[in-house]
Amino acid sequence: MVKMRGKVQRRTQLKGLKPGIRMKGGVRFDPEVKGFVAIIHTWDNAYCTGEPEEWRYPKVFATEDMAMECYKTTIRPVLEQMMTEMAEAQQGGKFVYRKLEK
């Protein structure tokens, strides 16, 4: 549970997703499963150097729009909350969040 502005809310967990120093999410087509998947890439450094760890939402979508809708409504809110909690735990650290979609 997460306490936000005097309210207690339950945060949906995304099984297997671990916080990282840099996290980027979105969707992409996976030819092996012949569908679109929602993903989050996680790096252990601020410069996104090296190979990221990839987390995938377990459901495969027929269209990019369907996958993006799942990302926006299910995954991104949890990712935003996770990053906020990490920034608060850093005490004095810098937290930057940008939505890169149109």
What CATH number did the domain enclosing 74 receive?
Answer: 3.30.160
Buried b (16+ CB within 10 A) or exposed e, 51-80: ebeebebeebbeeeebbbebbeeebbeebe
Report pLDDT digits (tens) over 69-84: 999 999 999 888 887 7
Question: pLDDT, tens digit, for every residue of 45-72?
Answer: 888 899 999 999 999 999 999 999 999 9
Strands (E) in the chain, as ranges, are 2-4, 7-9, 22-30, 35-43, 53-56
Entry pTM: 0.72
What domain range is 20 assigned to?
2-90
Number of domains making up the chain: 1
- Residue 67 forms part of a structural domain: yes
Task: Let me know if residue 101 belongs to a domain.
Answer: no
7 within some domain: yes
